[in-house]
DNA sequence: TTGAATGCAAAAACTTTGCATAACT
DNA sequence: AGTTATGCAAAGTTTTTGCATTCAA
């Protein structure tokens, strides 16, 4: 099934309605697969033909998150950005390009902190790993970090 | 030299004045070494004998951060917390107890991303690694994650 | 004495909420 | 028809800023 249809189906299964606004927003997220988008980014991506209130964007990304369809990331300024989950349910992390926003998936390697946590009997519940830098394209474009 | 004096010296060297307010705030941070404190935490820690405006707290932690004396961390709600640097200049990460806020230092493990980044020619500039969970004490106290 | 630090009040930035209306199924 | 979603406006939070005053060196 096409990604979009999978998402619609997932939402419908839990009583969500597929409105024109949700379609637009999901469209924008699909067009930016692999790139984190802030609320402001999303606002700017809304096509002129659509009028969507900011509160609707907030509410919609919250819905998508509750359904496990998007992953989020908090930047150094405390602002949250979102993107459609890469593979539903597969835990991973990202290399995040500060030039263009593109991300590259990297596997999670919990063994890297297992020794330390076991040693002091620390019970790990969750973690945050984000690697920032410049992707090959942005380096080629001459962007500096 | 005592930690407090080191901090004062460092600030003085760059033209900062050691005011009564800064002393109080640094005192609070020293009393909570190894524990991240939010702005609200700091406000609550101000002794009754001292009156300090919130804007002063913001400005002071910013000053300390500019001088490289405190490290910060952004929680899942986008709120920033601060603590005095463990060892100035030594890069590391933390296991962070969500029960009591205590942290345990763990070394940085660049092998987490080195393979992947080299493979796709991604130039890493900085990164964020935070491991959350419950410390031994909080588990013993019966706290659940 | 002079420039940095502070309090206060106001504004800015971001997010959430209540309610009447519109839209989906 | 019944319920969810939306727009709008208002309020809530957190953070920043301008300016007159105070304080450290």
SS3 content of chain B, % helix, strand, coil (to 5): 40, 25, 35
- Is A32 in the same domain as A66? yes
Tell if the CB–CB gap between A127 and B123 is shorter than 8 Å.
no
Residues B77 and B110 grouped into a single domain: no
The rounded distance, in Å, linking the Cα atoms of A60 and A39 is 11
**A39-97: per-residue pLDDT in tens?**
999 999 999 999 999 999 999 999 999 999 999 999 999 999 999 997 766 789 999 99
Reading the block at residue A90, the tokens are 């597969």
Q: What is the mean pLDDT of residues A18-27?
A: 98
Q: Are residues A33 and A73 in the same domain?
A: yes
Q: How far apart are CA B102 and CA B82, in angstroms?
A: 12
Q: Are residues A45 and A113 in the same domain?
A: no
Q: Which residues contact B39 (CB under 8 A, 6 or more apart)?
A: B54, B57, B58, B61, B79, B80
Look at residues B130, B40, B32, B38 and name the one whose alpha carbon lies nearest to residue B80: B38
**Coil/strand/helix, residue A34:** coil
3-state secondary structure of B76: coil
Last residue of a domain, one of A72, A88, A104: A88
Helix B20-30 vs helix B3-13: crossing angle, to nearest 10: 140
Q: Does residue B80 sit in the same domain as residue B128?
A: no
* Residues B81 and B104 reside in one and the same domain: no
B74-94 pLDDT, tens per residue? 999 999 999 999 776 678 999
Q: How far is Cα B110 from Cα B97, in angstroms, rounded to an integer? A: 23
Q: Are residues A74 and A126 in the same domain?
A: no
Q: State the pTM of this model.
A: 0.91
Better-scored residue on pLDDT, B143 or B94: B94
The total number of structural domains that make up chain B: 2
Provide the residue range defining the domain that includes A122.
Answer: 91-145
Residues B38, B101 share a domain: no
Q: Which of B122, B133, B142 to mutate to test the interface with A (most CBs of A within 10 A)?
A: B122
Q: Say if residue B59 is in the same domain as residue B98.
A: no
- Mean of the per-residue pLDDT values of chain B: 93
Residues (8-27, chain A) with CB within 7 Å of strand D atoms? 15-17, 19-22
Among chain A residues, CA nearest to B102: A122
Are B46 and B113 part of one and the same domain? no
Percent of chain B with pLDDT over 90: 84
**Residues A138, A100: one domain?**
yes
pLDDT at B112: 87
Least confident of A81-95, B7-21, B51-65, B92-106: A81-95
- Give the contacts of A104 (CB within 8 A, at least 6 positions apart): A94, A95, A135, B116, B120, B122
Euclidean distance between CA atoms B128 and A144, whole angstroms: 20
Q: What is the CATH number of the domain that holds B79?
A: 1.10.10.10
């Amino acid at each position: 099934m096409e990604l979009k249809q999978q998402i619609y189906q997932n939402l419908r299964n839990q009583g969500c309605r597929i409105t024109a606004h949700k379609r637009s927003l999901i469209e924008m997220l699909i067009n930016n697969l692999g790139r984190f988008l802030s609320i402001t980014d999303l606002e700017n991506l809304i096509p002129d033909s659509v009028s969507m209130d900011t509160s609707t964007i907030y509410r919609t990304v919250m819905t998508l998150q509750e359904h496990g369809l998007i992953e989020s990331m908090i930047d150094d300024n405390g602002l949250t950005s979102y993107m459609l989950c890469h593979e539903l349910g597969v835990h991973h992390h990202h290399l995040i390009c500060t030039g263009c926003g593109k991300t590259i998936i990297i596997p999670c390697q919990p063994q890297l902190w297992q020794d330390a946590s076991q040693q002091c009997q620390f019970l790990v519940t969750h973690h945050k790993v984000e690697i920032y830098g410049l992707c090959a394209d942005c380096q080629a474009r001459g962007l500096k970090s």
